[in-house]
């Protein structure tokens, strides 16, 4: 087992001390990162002792070590999965060549762009979530929030390591810029729009970690197939952490629904006004939040037709989800894929070269995966004897990127006039009053074992601790 050396300033399993120039460059970046964490990390939290997991090795047995940690002292480190002997480029025009241990000159600009774009999402989500600790519905939830936050910080480290190690001066400049952009900033925003939206309340947080961290999963899976081996190994390890983020989202929404169902059954009503008077989140509001987060997140996959996507694939930089499990030729020349298009006022399918449609392929795989959790939420409703069912909206609903951005489509897939869209919007997306209501429920609950009224306790605690464990200690 390859244990990580925590005595070093920057914990790592990449033999950082064997490359003094790189070590110095990263140690130079480190104070900037800590300043950023101080300014933009979880508000008011520096003295809390938080029951966190830290990776002590990248093996399945060792990467989740639990203990109380003050977050500024969390050991953000650089961990890559072990190299796979004889690994090859598994797709595109270089298929069959040995995987690259260094950046191929001709793909340098594209690789840097891919790494910077991924890297930028990591600190962005910490910024989006920085006020949520003030309104955590329990210590358990507060701890989960902070766990997600420190790991997103580590994901930033993962990308900055690649930039410093493989991209020289440009890479260092990109590393600095990652600490300068700010989520939602008018002058210097984060690169992707979903990461400039607000995450103002815990329902948004759970939807974000369910839907948007799942985008992270799919991007990381595609990059874990990369012919550039250090990127592949970095992303493989990040995926082990990502799974917990999606768990936080899925179980969080599930507990919201469960609590609402309890009150619906007690009061024998599905009237949103009565349920709101009883302090829980009515299911139509949950659906509107779902619609928002789903539609904003699927935009992250980019334009449906994209020559960049073709270039990234052809050149072996970014594969498909589970590339190596697929049984086709992994070159895709001459293959086709069906996209949605608009023709004579109707949504129709249109065939385009597969290589140009790879953003859409990844988006479709994502949509299939994200429906799994929605089906599990519906089982909570079914078990409670409640008729309401949650659904993912139509792919064309509320899109801002690609062909579908040009049309107005209802959640059930009907093409709409601008007027119909405006008239329906408050039924389909969280309205100002929905958001104000959800905000009104937010208030910090800090007694161990106590949970806010609008959410059910989890069925099990973290690391098999009880649900009334003191997950956060305040000093």
Residue 206 C-beta: closest distance to Fe ion, Å: 13
91 vs 211, which CB is nearer to Fe ion?
211
Nearer to Fe ion, 52 or 275 (CB): 52
Where in 200-239 is the site for Fe ion (CB under 5 A)? Answer: 213, 216
Min separation Cβ 156 and Fe ion, Å: 8
Q: Which is nearer to Fe ion, 216 or 230 (CB)?
A: 216
Q: Which of residues 372-401 bind Fe ion (CB under 5 A)?
A: none
Smallest distance, Fe ion to C-beta of residue 440, A: 28
Longest dimension (CA), the chain: 68
The dihedral formed by the CA atoms of 303, 308, 310 and 311, expressed in degrees to the nearest 10:
-170
What's the min distance (Å) between Cβ of 195 and Fe ion?
11
Q: How far is the CB of 236 from Fe ion (least distance, A)?
A: 13
Pick out residues in 334-363 that bind Fe ion (CB under 5 A): none
Distance, CA of 190 to CA of 180 (rounded, Å): 9
- Write down the least CB distance from residue 128 to Fe ion, Å: 12
Q: Could you tell me how many residues of this chain bind Fe ion (CB under 5 A)?
A: 7
CB 213, min distance to Fe ion, A = 4
Q: Which of 233, 245, 330, 399 binds Fe ion (CB under 5 A)?
A: 245
Report how far apart, in Å, the C-alpha atoms of 27 and of each of 21, 94, 177 are: 10, 36, 16
Cα-Cα end-to-end distance for the chain: 36
Please say which residue, 122 or 323, places its beta carbon nearer to Fe ion: 122
Which of 256, 304, 321 minimizes the C-alpha distance to 400?
A: 304
Element (H, E) at 269: none
Report how far apart, in Å, the C-alpha atoms of 467 and of each of 30, 139, 143, 246, 383 are: 35, 9, 12, 19, 22
Residue 385 CB partners (closer than 8 Å, separation 6+) = 265
Retrieve residue 16's tokens: 């950082």
Binding mask 162-201 for Fe ion (x = CB under 5 A): ----------------------------------------
- Could you tell me the two tokens for 163? 């930039």
Q: Give dist(CA 108, CA 270) in Å, integer.
A: 56
**With respect to Fe ion, which residue has the nearer C-beta, 129 or 398?**
129
Pick between residue 197 and residue 213 the one whose CB is nearest to Fe ion.
213
In the complex with Fe ion, the residue whose CB is nearer, 113 or 414, is 113
Q: Which residue among 155, 165, 181, 236 contacts Fe ion (CB under 5 A)?
A: 155
Evaluate whether 203 touches 286 at the Cβ level (below 8 Å): yes
For the chain, the residue count is: 475
CA distances from 403 to 65, 349, 417 (A): 46, 12, 17
From residue 115 to residue 154, the character string flagging contacts with Fe ion as x (rule: CB under 5 A) and all else as - is -------x-----------------------------x--
Q: Report the distance separating Cα 444 and Cα 455, nearest Å.
A: 13
- In the bound complex, what is the minimum distance in angstroms from residue 145's beta carbon to Fe ion? 12
Which residues sit at the interface with Fe ion, rule CB under 5 A? 122, 152, 155, 213, 216, 242, 245
């Amino acid at each position: 087992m390859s244990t990580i050396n925590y005595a070093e300033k920057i914990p790592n399993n990449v033999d950082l001390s064997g490359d003094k120039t790189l070590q110095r460059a990263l140690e130079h970046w480190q104070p900037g990162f800590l300043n950023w964490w101080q300014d933009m990390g979880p508000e008011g939290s520096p003295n809390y002792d938080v029951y966190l997991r830290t990776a002590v090795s990248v093996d399945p047995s060792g990467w989740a070590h639990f203990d109380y940690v003050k977050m500024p002292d969390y050991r953000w480190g650089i961990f890559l999965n072990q190299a796979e002997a004889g690994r090859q480029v598994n797709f595109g025009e270089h298929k069959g060549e040995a995987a690259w241990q260094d950046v191929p000159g001709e793909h340098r600009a594209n690789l840097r762009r891919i790494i910077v774009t991924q890297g930028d999402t990591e600190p962005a989500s910490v910024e989006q979530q920085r006020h949520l600790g003030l309104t955590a519905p329990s210590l358990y939830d507060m701890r989960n929030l902070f766990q997600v936050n420190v790991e997103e910080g580590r994901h930033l480290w993962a990308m900055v390591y690649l930039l410093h190690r493989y991209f020289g001066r440009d890479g260092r400049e990109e590393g600095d810029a990652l600490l300068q952009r700010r989520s939602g900033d008018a002058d210097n925003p984060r690169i992707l729009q979903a990461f400039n939206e607000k995450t103002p309340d815990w329902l948004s947080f759970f939807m974000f970690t369910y839907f948007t961290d799942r985008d992270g999963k799919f991007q990381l899976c595609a990059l874990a197939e990369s012919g550039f081996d250090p990127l592949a190994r970095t992303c493989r390890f990040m995926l082990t952490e990502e799974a917990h983020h999606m768990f936080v989202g899925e179980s969080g929404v599930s507990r919201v629904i469960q609590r609402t169902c309890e009150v619906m059954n007690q009061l024998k009503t599905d009237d949103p006004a009565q349920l709101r008077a009883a302090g829980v989140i009515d299911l139509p509001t949950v659906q509107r939040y779902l619609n928002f987060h789903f539609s904003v997140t699927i935009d992250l996959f980019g334009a449906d037709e994209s020559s960049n996507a073709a270039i990234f694939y052809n050149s072996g930089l970014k594969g498909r989800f589970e590339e190596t499990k697929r049984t086709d030729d992994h070159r895709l020349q001459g293959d086709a894929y069906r996209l949605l298009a608009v023709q004579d006022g109707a949504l129709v399918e249109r065939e385009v070269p597969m290589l140009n449609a790879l953003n859409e392929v990844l988006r479709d795989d994502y949509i299939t995966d994200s429906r799994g959790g929605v089906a599990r939420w519906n089982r909570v409703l079914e078990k409670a004897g409640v008729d309401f069912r949650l659904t993912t909206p139509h792919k064309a609903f509320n899109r801002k990127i690609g062909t579908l951005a040009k049309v107005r489509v209802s959640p059930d897939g009907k093409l709409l006039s601008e007027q119909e869209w405006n008239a329906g919007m408050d039924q389909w997306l969280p309205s100002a009053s929905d958001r104000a209501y959800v905000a009104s429920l937010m208030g910090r609950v800090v007694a161990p074992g106590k949970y806010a009224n609008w959410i059910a306790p989890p069925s099990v605690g973290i690391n098999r601790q009880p649900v009334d464990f003191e997950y956060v200690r305040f000093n």
